[in-house]
Amino acid sequence: MNQHVRALASADTATETAGQVSSPVVRLVDVKRHFGPTAALDGVSLTVGKGEIIGIIGRSGAGKSTLIRCLNGLERPDSGEVHIEGREIGRLGEKQLQPLRRRTGMIFQHFNLLSAKTVEENVALPLKIEGVARPERMRRAAELLELVGLAGKAKAYPASLSGGQKQRVGIARALAARPALLLSDEATSALDPETTRSILVLLRDINRQLGLTIILITHEMEVVRSIADRVAVIDAGRIVEEGEVWKVFADPQAEVTKSLLQGIRPQLPAEIAEKLSPNLGSEAVLRVDVAGEGALGPLLADLGGQAGSFRFIHGGIERVQGRPVGTLFLAVPAGEPDLSQTVKFLTGRGARVEVLGHVFDND
């Protein structure tokens, strides 16, 4: 940890000691918000602990923006409770909300920087609004620009920066008032994949160094996979699935989660999918999802021993939150009872198995 980060971290630890260390940073209880006949939020309950990174993912129109607006007090729920650091904000007046809003920093898809102000002035703006004297807010801005890797850009204007640099300024600004919670609203959606990765690494570093709680609103599973500890999937205003990221990746339950994962989990190659028949063929094609340390090697070795021959068609293993998560496509003898026994063997070893169809082994 460099000197600047250490100073930032100790300041935040002081805040933490004064606050409620044990209580969650965010607690939503049965939050509902309707717009006419549309239930943008239809009974959302969610708890986010200190230092956690949670991804809230859903398709367009699922309710993500409404949720984030309830969290920063811009939207009031029709019913239910929104607690930030133990205080219920859903019913507070605008004046009472102001100091609490400072506990929440926010970064945006299009950065929302003021083009007529320099980078350091943008970063210092929340402190200016708070009435912090200029020398102190410039000192803090310099500290934050160092943290986000933009120490040399203090006097630059936003127009001269790349998208990634603009988002770094956005992050520095969001941290200026030492928030307990950072809300990220599609913050990497406008960035290319490499820049996205560098911004996500920065968010992860800040989370670790400052113990900052981060809520990432996104429609990209890639973002969730990269840095979130936990994921909540929202659909039609409801949280339809929630859990540790690696578990949800390994064994998604809700249809919407499966569909959001489709782009980044291995799929059966199209030329084999085309040949699949519902019941005709000498081999059954299985999709086998398996997760956890040491789960895969012994599984395949034992499968060969117990179920006899199998063909490995396609698949791969990746690491999510440091744990192996694998998807394999296997062709196994289709006759009964062999097929049932193979499926039973695999599920008995903790794998999720789906019979996709049949092929002939000379295909």
Ligand X SMILES: Nc1ncnc2c1ncn2[C@@H]1O[C@H](COP(=O)(O)OP(=O)(O)OP(=O)(O)O)[C@@H](O)[C@H]1O
Closest approach, Cβ 39 to ligand X, in A, equals 8
What is the per-residue binding string for ligand X in 208-237, x denoting contact by CB under 6 A?
Answer: -----------x------------------
Closest approach, Cβ 80 to ligand X, in A, equals 15
| Residue 171 neighbours by CB distance under 10 Å | 24
Give the nearer residue to ligand X in terms of CB position, either 62 or 284.
62
What is the per-residue binding string for ligand X in 164-203, x denoting contact by CB under 6 A?
Answer: ----------------------------------------
Give the nearer residue to ligand X in terms of CB position, either 202 or 215.
215
Closest approach, Cβ 40 to ligand X, in A, equals 3
Which of the residues 15 through 54 are near ligand X (CB under 6 A)? 35, 38, 40
Distance CA 108, CA 47 (A): 22
Give the nearer residue to ligand X in terms of CB position, either 42 or 120.
42
Strand segments (E) across 172-255: 181-185, 213-218, 230-235, 238-244
Q: How many residues lie near ligand X (CB under 6 A)?
A: 12
Give the nearer residue to ligand X in terms of CB position, either 32 or 247.
32
Give the nearer residue to ligand X in terms of CB position, either 220 or 283.
220
Give the nearer residue to ligand X in terms of CB position, either 239 or 328.
239
Q: Which two tokens stand for residue 201?
A: 């690494």
Which of the residues 52 through 91 are near ligand X (CB under 6 A)? 58, 60-66
263 phi and psi, to 5 degrees? Answer: -65, -25
Structure-token match 């959606």, residue found: 189
| Residue 191 neighbours by CB distance under 10 Å | 19
Distance CA 34, CA 38 (A): 6
Is 324 in contact with 293 (CB distance < 8 Å)?
yes
Is 50 in contact with 181 (CB distance < 8 Å)?
no
Distance CA 53, CA 213 (A): 6
Binding site for ligand X (CB under 6 A): 35, 38, 40, 58, 60-66, 219
